[in-house]
Structure 1
Amino acid sequence: MTDPGWQTIRYETCDRKAYLTLNRPDRMNAINEDMARELPKAVERADEDPDVHVIILQGAGRAFCSGYDLKEYAEDGAGTQDAVWDPIKDYRMMKRNTDDYFSLWRSMKPTIAKVHGYAVAGGSDIALSCDQVIMADDARIGYMPARVWGCPTTAMWVYRLGAERAKRMLFTGDTIDGRQAAEWGLVLESVPAGELDAAVERLADRIAGVPVNQLVMQKLMINQAYDNMGLQGTQILATLFDGMTRHSPEGRWFQAFAATHGFHEAVRWRDSGRWIPEGGGPVPTESDLEG
């Protein structure tokens, strides 16, 4: 049953499982402020339900999550401050978002991300905050804003992949498909798209047979090991850097590009591998876009 107060998350339960569905399919489940705020409410609801043993996070429509809604944030400039900017104001905003996504990691009960289509940019932050990730073979995951205008605030790339492969992804902003993500150990498993639902249900059903107290103790113990490795400190640094990337000369160039030509053109330039001018520089003209 969907909570009538939620605009972007659909909540259902069945057979000791809670299903949280990101529900902005017309925007490929792009993140807006409502989604960030509603996600931890849905997680908390599942945590407090004694009949729920495991939480499944999925996306409605064609994708799991396409990242932040760049129509709102890049094209319209939401969240971008003036030339003299307050880094702590920005940090406060992004720290709240990071904590909201990480409610999936900090929840008492196991969480599984079911990824189809895309889990990219901020969408990868959400997926990688889950305890387990199962992807369709043809799904894509990556953090393209590493090229300009972003730093993954949950920092889970390095904790899942190790330094070298995390650098491979974040030095390029490339995406990889489910098969490669599973081969690298970024996600638990990759299966043909037509088998994704069944694969997630098998794992969830297996977990759901375990008493909740056992699940909670195992999860807390494993998460504590990550905390001992400095996860919280890494996230503080990543969240501060994320604000810097959006207010650097290059970040302001990207936002001005999106405001002038639309975020689709700005993203197309960023992801194509074309040179991103250091120090910002003039926004490309129409003829530059055609070249």
Structure 2
Amino acid sequence: MDFQSILYEVEGRIATLTLNRPHRFNAIDRHMPKEIAAAVDLADRDPDVHVLLVRGAGPGFCGGYDLVEFAERKGAGGGNQEMPWDPTLDFAGMWRNTQDFMSLWRCRKPTIACVHGSAVAGGSDIALCCDFLIMESTARIGYPPARVWGVPTPAMWVYRLDPQMAKRLMMTGDLIEGREAARIGLALAAPEPEAFEDEIAALVGRLQGVPRNQLMMTKMVVNQAYENMGLQSTQMMATLFDGIARHTPEGLWFRERAQDVGFKQAVAERDSGDPIASQVSKRR
């Protein structure tokens, strides 16, 4: 396939999907979600592939959605519609993206997110939809838009952490390093950077010798337990709330600030400690 935003390669029994927009920190554009799903389908159909690695090109894994395109751009489109907005249109678009990311979860072969640098916002969505997460010890992961302008639509924080820790990370939007992610069970391992590839190779070495049918059956057993807990209905609610979050008074304020002063300054104001409501009042 002629991919625009990712690379897909196969060597032996290992397929590698690489997010490939390093000039934008592999930010998610309009092509990337469906290209991820297409690459997963290729791996699923390939009888020689036993394991799928997910990596990021350049200095980090993924910085989330391309906010130059989705937040700073003037007018409707990207993250917001003109008001009054139609939540069903918003839901349909984000639900497609969520299901494209979840192809990593549904893939019949084990998927491993290999995170260096950062996996932020939508980048954390991609990483947490994989079966395994291996991070460099100093790499960072989190969902900062949970402070305003977003809800993580796959909601995998809920299923990979205990309720208290899931609430802490989803409510604060804090970024945590790989060593903490491993300590709380979010990451399988968080080796020092010099041992990162060795850690990945050790897991791949154990998995690639297992018959594909055995990998598929054991993965389905675990996944079905989470499906029975209501994973899809949780994701439907999260996806609906994500659209609402971008159209609340606070969400609209944030996008206007991103357009007026740039995304970095809008983030600094969002994280200043002042209640967002007071910022909205000033705008009015």
1:288 corresponding residue in structure 2: none
2:255 corresponding residue in structure 1: 255
Secondary structure of the 1:36 match is: helix
1:150 corresponding residue in structure 2: 150
Code of the aligned partner of 1:249: P
2:167 corresponding residue in structure 1: 167
Judged with a 3 Å threshold, the aligned counterparts in structure 2 of structure 1 residues 177 and 52 are, in CA distance, closer, same or farther, namely same
Separation in structure 2 between the aligned mates of residue 278 and residue 185 of structure 1, nearest angstrom? 37
- Per-residue CA deviation, residues 19-38 of structure 1 (Å, 9 max, x unaligned), is 10000001110111111121
Separation in structure 2 between the aligned mates of residue 274 and residue 124 of structure 1, nearest angstrom? 26
Deviation at 1:279, TM superposition (A): 8.1
Deviation at 1:14, TM superposition (A): 1.1
Report whether the alignment pairs 1:66 with 2:75: no
Judged with a 3 Å threshold, the aligned counterparts in structure 2 of structure 1 residues 28 and 283 are, in CA distance, closer, same or farther, namely farther
Which stretches in structure 2 are left out of the alignment for 5+ residues? none
Secondary structure of the 2:133 match is: strand
2:200 corresponding residue in structure 1: 200
Code of the aligned partner of 1:179: R
Code of the aligned partner of 1:53: H
1:289 corresponding residue in structure 2: none
Code of the aligned partner of 1:169: L
Separation in structure 2 between the aligned mates of residue 38 and residue 94 of structure 1, nearest angstrom? 15
- Asked if the contact 2:145–2:173 (Cα under 8 Å) also holds between the matched residues in 1, the reply is yes
1:16 corresponding residue in structure 2: 13
TM-score between the two structures when normalised by the length of structure 1: 0.94
Separation in structure 2 between the aligned mates of residue 165 and residue 185 of structure 1, nearest angstrom? 10
Aligned 1:75-154 pairs, distance under 5 A? 75-77=72-74, 78-154=78-154
Code of the aligned partner of 2:26: N
> Percent identity over the alignment?
55
Secondary structure of the 2:71 match is: helix
Judged with a 3 Å threshold, the aligned counterparts in structure 2 of structure 1 residues 201 and 283 are, in CA distance, closer, same or farther, namely farther
TM-score between the two structures when normalised by the length of structure 2: 0.96
Secondary structure of the 2:28 match is: coil
Deviation at 1:270, TM superposition (A): 2.3
Deviation at 1:83, TM superposition (A): 1.5
Deviation at 1:187, TM superposition (A): 1.2
1:26 corresponding residue in structure 2: 23
Code of the aligned partner of 1:170: M
- Asked if the contact 2:79–2:246 (Cα under 8 Å) also holds between the matched residues in 1, the reply is no
- Per-residue CA deviation, residues 235-288 of structure 1 (Å, 9 max, x unaligned), is 00000000000000000000000010111211232244443226833459xxxx
- Asked if the contact 1:132–1:188 (Cα under 8 Å) also holds between the matched residues in 2, the reply is yes
Deviation at 1:15, TM superposition (A): 2.2
Code of the aligned partner of 2:124: S
Which stretches in structure 1 are left out of the alignment for 5+ residues? 285-291
